[in-house]
Amino acid sequence: MKDKLKEILTESIKSLEKSKKKDFSDIRIDIKENKEKAFGDYSTNLSLAISSITNDDPKEIAKKIAIDFNDLDFIERVEVAGPGFINFFLSQNSRTEILKDINNLKSRFGKKEASSAISKRILIEYVSSNPTGPLHVGHGRGAAFGSALSSILREVGHEVEEEYYVNDQGRQMDILCISVWLRYLKLFKKDMVFPNNCYKGSYVNDLAEELKKKKSEEYKPKEGIKAIETKLISEMTDEQLDSLIFETKQLLEERFDAIKTFALDAIIKGIKKDLKDFGVVHNLWFKESTLFEPDENDQSSIDNAVNSLEEKKYLYKENGALWFKSTDFGDEKDRVIKRENGHTTYFTSDIAYHSNKYDRGYDLIINIWGADHHGYLPRVNSAMAALGEDIEKFKVVFIQFANLFRGGRKVSMSTRGGEFISLKELIKEVSSEAARFFYLNRKGNQHLDFDLDLAKKETKDNPLYYIQYAHARICSVFSKLQKEKRQYNESVGKDFVSLLNSEKEIQIIQLLSQYSEMLNRSANNFEPHLLCYYLQELAAGFHSYYNEQKILVSNEEELQARLFFLSAIKQVIFNGLKVLGIKAPVSM
């Protein structure tokens, strides 16, 4: 309906522009949906915007625009109010047309098919946790956000790919490897010291057990272990740990990489399973290590990125290190991309990785990052700008951390052993769907207090339960109809939708008509929480209506009209929950 109004208002602007001989090209048509019935279904302040250019009385302009809406079958009347607002009152027939659209499109209502005119190829990279351990509750919010946003973007007609970037290079992977190996050795010698700055989670013990089961004593060298043991102390500095890793690599040789690959594969397998159980499936998994693999010209992606920056004169040497002139592009300081020892930095990998994203030809590249990465955006933008890429194609959404509460008290995110509460544990406690919804039910850049007790409640205080109960409640109405040996006649309901003219019915119908626009707004602003809010408002409207209005009345025309109405509400709830990756139960 907004599109229809906008189309006519556009013609009104053209006509006034011609008669007034003024330029109205900068005027934006803003149409607002009104909750107050007295102000009509929609209103616009267009006449006020025009009067600011022509200096004419906005009321007189509004009256001229209103004439363009005379004799339109979908408009009951147009009123000029206040200083020049134009209020549109829809006819009952046009207002209820949305119910017929929902009935006709069903699961496709609100969904746009991908077309060359509007469709973009979009890459969303999210979660991308270091594969040094299982996912914990801190990763859950970003996972739910990225998954839901991907779904919403598809729903409005875009082609979306979901990627997980696997940081399988560098020091942290070496620490994981030696942590597993030392735990493996402790299975043979219980009193062996385990350094404090190795990974201590129980999953490391599990990996060590599995390694022993598969390889027995293959990774327990007959010579050299004692030299390693003499260096083991519980309170070890980072320098001492790095020295230990170096000596272990020399001792184990290719076996060090074999242990690392074993641990990496096992952890990634676990991450994929946890994400799948959470309703999150990445179709692309990009390993950092591939950036170091040489091509046919013996050049890696890392080499190509560095060479490109060097050719463009954006690199310089200082104190033996290679620096990128990121301050030339607005960053607060220049960044090291190659250390004195010749090793590249994490930032160098990120430059090569994001360059690779651009090379793949996406129209839009979206990263979902934790709020603690705010300072990282300027340097990545600087590098892409230096490489000549369009940084307007690159968007980052920052997600704030979530706090867990149980019994009114904040839950410690980690155990005494230093392990974070895993995502798997959260799913087990409150269910995957509740966890998804509660993570999403607040704007991503705002702090979230996740009430575990509320997520498990089966009352209207639990927003997800209240939405799902609305769907189940409607299903129960149709079940009761069958028990009374009566039937739902869709065509009769469609013919008598004009009977749906109570204040609550009109409010809900208006809300149903806003579904598609809400999805577009959610997609354009990267705000999945808008869909959560919308579904809560729709469910609340339905429950209020259901509590006040008898549905299974004796009058056949009224009965079928109300069933047709309920069917539309049920369909939109179903569609919305599906986009969020949540089921709509038929009974509760």
pLDDT tens per residue across span 282-337:
999 999 999 999 999 999 999 999 999 999 999 999 999 999 999 999 999 999 99
**Domain-embedded: residue 156:** no
Distance, CA of 536 to CA of 467 (rounded, Å): 6
Q: What is the dihedral of CA 33, 38, 43, 45, to 10 degrees?
A: -130
The answer to whether residues 389 and 417 belong to one domain is no
- Helices (H) and strands (E) counted in the chain, each on its own, are 23, 15
pLDDT of residue 233: 94
The answer to whether residues 273 and 405 belong to one domain is yes
**Domain-embedded: residue 554:** yes
- 63: domain CATH number is 3.30.1360.70
Spell out, as residue ranges, where the chain has pLDDT lower than 50. Answer: 416
List the domain range (segments joined by +) for residue 25: 2-95
pLDDT of residue 200: 87
Distance, CA of 175 to CA of 244 (rounded, Å): 10
The answer to whether residues 227 and 301 belong to one domain is no
pLDDT of residue 116: 62
The answer to whether residues 568 and 464 belong to one domain is yes
Q: What is the dihedral of CA 548, 550, 556, 561, to 10 degrees?
A: 40
DSSP state of 419: P
- 174: domain CATH number is 3.40.50.620
Task: Tell me if residue 586 falls in helix, strand or coil.
Answer: coil
400: alpha, beta or left, given left = phi > 0 and alpha = psi -120 to 50?
Answer: beta
**Domain-embedded: residue 300:** yes
Q: What ranges make up the beta strands (E) of 339-393?
A: 364-370
pLDDT of residue 95: 85
- 551: domain CATH number is 1.10.730.10
Longest dimension (CA), the chain: 96
Report yes or no: 338 and 322 within 8 Å, Cβ to Cβ. Answer: yes
At 116, the amino acid letter reads S
What total number of domains does the chain contain? 4
The answer to whether residues 571 and 478 belong to one domain is yes
**Domain-embedded: residue 160:** no
The answer to whether residues 448 and 512 belong to one domain is no
The answer to whether residues 135 and 264 belong to one domain is yes
**Domain-embedded: residue 155:** no
* Number of CB atoms found within 10 A of residue 482's CB: 10
pLDDT of residue 50: 92
**Domain-embedded: residue 584:** no
**Domain-embedded: residue 119:** no
Report yes or no: 423 and 143 within 8 Å, Cβ to Cβ. Answer: yes
The answer to whether residues 432 and 536 belong to one domain is no
Distance, CA of 544 to CA of 293 (rounded, Å): 62
What do you get for the CA distance between the two ends of the chain, in Å? 35
The answer to whether residues 476 and 564 belong to one domain is yes
The answer to whether residues 275 and 405 belong to one domain is yes
The answer to whether residues 254 and 312 belong to one domain is no
**Domain-embedded: residue 261:** yes
Domain-terminating residue out of 398, 416, 446:
398
491: part of which helix (H) or strand (E)? helix 490-495
The answer to whether residues 50 and 6 belong to one domain is yes
